[in-house]
Structure 1
Amino acid sequence: MRLRLLLTALTGALTATLVAGTPTAPVARASAPPPRAPAPAPVDGVRWTPCPEDTSADCGTLRLPVDRSRPSGEHFDLALARRRAADPERRIGVLLVNPGGPGASGVDFAVNDVPSYFGPEVRARFDIIGFDPRGVGRSQPVVCSSELLSRGPSAYPRDRAGFDRLAAHNRAVLDDCRRRSGPITDHADTLNVVHDMDAVRAALGERRISYFGHSYGTLIGEQYAEEYGDRLRAMALTANLDHSLGLRDFMVSSAKAAEDSFHTFVRWCETTASCALYGRDVTAVWDALLDRADRGLVTDPADPGGRPLNAHALTLTAFSDFYGPNWARLASYIAGLTAQKTPPTNPVPATPTAPQGTRAEPFHAVFCQDWRFRPKSYEEFARLTEAELRAAPHMRGATRTHDAVAGCVGRPDRVNNPQHWLRVTGAPRILLLHSRHDPANHFTWATAVHRQTRTTTVLLPYEGAGHSVYGRNACTRGAVDDYLTRLRLPNPGSSCPPAAPVNNG
């Protein structure tokens, strides 16, 4: 549920419009990328029909094998949505898009968000196509038992027995998802998605495509450029992932990003009279609130039963608001909780109800096949958790990253798409944008990607905060639009100034 809430925050930040620390160390350069894929077999074209939700968009499917090594085996329908170029006479081609996750729906993004997200020139000149990656949304989603997922043990085990329970639970979930979803559970990794994306290109009859990817969608883009660089016309990536990171560096740099966003929020409150915490020691107020939450003395204002809010839930809320960033809303929320009177000693407990049926749960099916992150013992995981907390004492580590890694404990060691040093040859110049104060993806992730592909990429830092980048201001939007439509890149070494934070207070 925590990961589902964070995914909601991510896609919400897309529709709304860390200070770089010590660079995190990648895995050894000797790590080789997967072998380059052969050209895919010919596929039938996509059959388009008006989308039920919005008939101004087209929806379609493409039948593809679940396991590329068994083309005659089980197949699934990859779901797509298209918005045709508004000015067909000036049409450049197709622009495939992915909004991240893993688990966000590219179909929903194309149908609901594209008309307000991209600038008029991009919408005029491209057929913009979103797709649900395999195992996600309408593309044969990975589904699992709701009841089993709801009774998972803590992602913060306190001893070896707790760690063993976590590992056993993850194995039970994996077995359950496999039973309910079939072999796609073990083939939902990003490298398979990359091959699917090229099958889409072939089905559309396009020699080359353009691509826009955000957050986890940048990993799709990076690996497509690696596998199929000569089939790219242009590629713009925002909030980049560094797929060469080892486990400790991944967790610690994520924690540093969250902590940096907290301090950026504090600085805004200290200098902005409209902040609900203006004139107070914001850090002290926040730490005291977390301490009260640890003792069960903070209640959820949205719960009529007065259910306690723990510190984990509070840091999750703050982290989600850093995505926008929605600082005014967060400040008002903290002020309201701080003003709470001491809650009753016996709050009305929530009536336990076991959720029934199944729910889509693709996150770990993707994440745990993209990263060789398998803490082997309680002692190793405890050391990683301590390192997180040292890097982010006010944010209690990095909630999202910790939960992601915890969900891989106990899973099989073999992964389809392990980390490696990115090697891109034959691709056109690629535009990278990244917020200097991204709460989720540390700025050094972008610099590492740029360092690995220096002759192929141009990095444009956005000097502000938040996870979303493209729609922040005229500079970020203009850089992407000019590049996609005219193949005009910003000058190396340039950057975009910060914009005002989103005010949803």
Structure 2
Amino acid sequence: MLLHGAVALALTLTPVTGSDRPVLDWGECPDNAAVQCADLRLPVDWSRSDGETFALAVARRPAPDPAKRIGTLVFGPGGPGDSGVGKVLDGTRFSPEILDRFDVVSFDPRTVEGSAAPVCEPDPDLPRPPIVLRDQADFDTTVTWNRALWTRCRASSPVFDHASTLDTVRDIEALRRALGESSLTFHGSSYGTLLGQQYAERHPHRVRAVVLEGVFDHGLDLRGFVRTQAASLQDAFEEFLAWCDATGQCGGDIRGEWAKLGDLERSVLPLMTLNGPDRPRLAALIRRYAAGQGPPITLPPIAAGAFCADFPAPVRDYREYASLLREAAHAGPDVRYGAGVAAISTCLGWPKPVTNPPHRLRVRTDIPLLLLNARHDPRTGLNWATRIAAELGRHGRLVTYEGAGHGVYRDTPCTEAVVDRYLIDLAVPPPGATCPAPSAASARSSSPSA
């Protein structure tokens, strides 16, 4: 077995062609005997399948009883930048029933951890740009910073310029073949839903079942992306304020404390805290920052090799950038900017054109894709899920969780049952199906309502 890390960066010249079945040499994962690990050798550049290769890090948690096993469930991690291997090792991503019926398999996408992750150390001689740019000088600094960073990334990872979602779709198809599965059972979360969408688009007859949890919309232009993301964060923040009023658990005048914060705190704090149900944490952070006692704000890194290859940032100068700031602030007057503005800064200066440009989704699968989204999702709003559901038409089915959060599959018995019955029994919920939030689920029903 190949271990991940430096070994995963080594290249071979072993050809991987369309007629060859890729090989997974499973072995016990370090420090976790319940999970198996392997490296899958794949082309760096799928347009040159007989060229150099890299090691895709893969992990599998086998179903305990082969007699009850349905097949393999492949999990698509989000981010971009999340480790799917880590999710399999953790073992809590899926319900006990799913773990009982499927081998659960995931991977580190290109440029993430065990899969040729680059060493992207910033140039120490360059000034670090702010999260929100203030003028043309900041804009120019960001472009210079980004390009210097990407040069360092490229030098340490062969796949940095081949890390788009379409590249990963090809990796997933190779993984399916290596697993010996005739069709794909897939669950994607957040940015991983884009992987599920584009796999179904390219391989409709290989789809057994695809779950999209926290639906990402790849069909928006840059202005639409910024506007809708800010609107989703604003909606989640308004739900938080309503919860404060209803429960009295936020303490004091939380609205007055909020008014003391700057634009950066208003944008980042809800984004960091409203993914889950811990609303008191956001209230405590608001009070702390309002008192001038909050730590410096940083954002988790985005896997630029993947994200910037999927989304163009054709912003020519600060004037255009400032117009996007105004667009976001109009859509989210309390939260100001949301994640969309930070995403733009991540990709300023990226070479054009991108390899996987946004487009209207065209899926023609035999079984509808299952979409699950919270009504108040701060990252992938219901506005994105309803757009993707409309594009899918009869080839998709949206279930709305009538609560808040990002990634809600295991939040309630209802949301868990919807996904489990679809993956195990291929049971598609009725049109307009919803799951209640816990406060409204007095009977804790495990069935969706139409």
| TM alignment of 1:177-326, pairs within 5 A | 177-182=153-158, 184-273=159-248, 275-277=249-251, 280-288=252-260, 290=261, 294=262, 312-313=264-265, 315-326=267-278
The equivalent of 1:328 in structure 2 is 280
Q: Do the aligned partners of 1:142 and 1:361 also contact (CA within 8 Å) in 2?
A: no
Give unmatched runs, 5+ long, in structure 1.
1-38, 295-310, 344-348, 351-359
- Quote the Cα distance in structure 1 between the aligned partners of 2:126 and 2:53: 30
Cα deviation, 1:38-91, whole Å, max 9, x if unaligned, reads x93323320000110311100011000010111222210001100111221011
Specify which structure has the bigger relative contact order, considering alpha-carbon pairs within 8 angstroms and separated by 6 or more residues. Answer: 1
The equivalent of 2:321 in structure 1 is 381
Q: Do the aligned partners of 1:324 and 1:467 also contact (CA within 8 Å) in 2?
A: yes
Partner letter of residue 443 of structure 1? L
Cα deviation, 1:434-454, whole Å, max 9, x if unaligned, reads 111000112111111111111
The equivalent of 1:129 in structure 2 is 105
In the TM superposition, residue 150 of structure 1 has moved relative to its aligned partner by 8.4
Give unmatched runs, 5+ long, in structure 2.
1-16, 441-450
Tell me, yes or no, if structure 1 residue 443 matches structure 2 residue 382: yes
- Quote the Cα distance in structure 1 between the aligned partners of 2:382 and 2:365: 26
Tell me, yes or no, if structure 1 residue 72 matches structure 2 residue 50: yes
Tell me, yes or no, if structure 1 residue 477 matches structure 2 residue 416: yes
In the TM superposition, residue 142 of structure 1 has moved relative to its aligned partner by 2.5
Q: Do the aligned partners of 1:473 and 1:499 also contact (CA within 8 Å) in 2?
A: yes
Q: Do the aligned partners of 1:143 and 1:361 also contact (CA within 8 Å) in 2?
A: no
- Quote the Cα distance in structure 1 between the aligned partners of 2:126 and 2:240: 33
SS at match of 1:218: helix
In the TM superposition, residue 396 of structure 1 has moved relative to its aligned partner by 2.2
SS at match of 1:491: coil
The equivalent of 2:10 in structure 1 is none
Alignment equivalent of 2:115, drawn from 139, 147, 158: 139
Q: Do the aligned partners of 2:207 and 2:365 also contact (CA within 8 Å) in 1?
A: no
Tell me, yes or no, if structure 1 residue 410 matches structure 2 residue 349: yes
Partner letter of residue 97 of structure 2? E
SS at match of 2:435: coil
Partner letter of residue 285 of structure 2? Y
Partner letter of residue 340 of structure 2? T
Query: After alignment, is 261-270 or 371-380 more displaced?
Result: 371-380
Q: TM-score, normalised by structure 2?
A: 0.89
Q: TM-score, normalised by structure 1?
A: 0.79
- Quote the Cα distance in structure 2 between the aligned partners of 1:411 and 1:56: 42
The equivalent of 2:20 in structure 1 is 42
- Quote the Cα distance in structure 1 between the aligned partners of 2:172 and 2:194: 13
In the TM superposition, residue 146 of structure 1 has moved relative to its aligned partner by 4.1
In the TM superposition, residue 313 of structure 1 has moved relative to its aligned partner by 4.5
In the TM superposition, residue 336 of structure 1 has moved relative to its aligned partner by 4.3
Partner letter of residue 61 of structure 1? D
Cα deviation, 1:323-355, whole Å, max 9, x if unaligned, reads 1031012223333454x4x78xxxxx99xxxxx
CA RMSD of aligned residues (A): 2.3
The equivalent of 1:27 in structure 2 is none
Q: Do the aligned partners of 2:266 and 2:335 also contact (CA within 8 Å) in 1?
A: no
In the TM superposition, residue 265 of structure 1 has moved relative to its aligned partner by 0.6
- Quote the Cα distance in structure 2 between the aligned partners of 1:412 and 1:148: 23
Tell me, yes or no, if structure 1 residue 460 matches structure 2 residue 435: no
- Quote the Cα distance in structure 1 between the aligned partners of 2:403 and 2:346: 32
- Quote the Cα distance in structure 2 between the aligned partners of 1:319 and 1:227: 33
- Quote the Cα distance in structure 1 between the aligned partners of 2:346 and 2:310: 13
In the TM superposition, residue 173 of structure 1 has moved relative to its aligned partner by 1.5
Give the length in aligned residue pairs.
421
- Quote the Cα distance in structure 2 between the aligned partners of 1:149 and 1:173: 12
- Quote the Cα distance in structure 1 between the aligned partners of 2:436 and 2:155: 50
The equivalent of 2:37 in structure 1 is 59
SS at match of 2:347: coil
- Quote the Cα distance in structure 2 between the aligned partners of 1:329 and 1:156: 24
Partner letter of residue 219 of structure 1? L
Partner letter of residue 280 of structure 2? A
Partner letter of residue 200 of structure 1? L
4+ aligned runs moved over 3 Å, structure 1: 146-151, 335-338
The equivalent of 1:425 in structure 2 is 364
Percent of residue pairs bearing the same amino acid type:
39
Are residues 147 and 53 of structure 1, via their aligned partners in 2, closer, same or farther at CA, if it must alter by over 3 Å?
farther
SS at match of 1:129: strand
SS at match of 2:400: strand
Are residues 40 and 181 of structure 1, via their aligned partners in 2, closer, same or farther at CA, if it must alter by over 3 Å?
same
Are residues 85 and 492 of structure 1, via their aligned partners in 2, closer, same or farther at CA, if it must alter by over 3 Å?
same
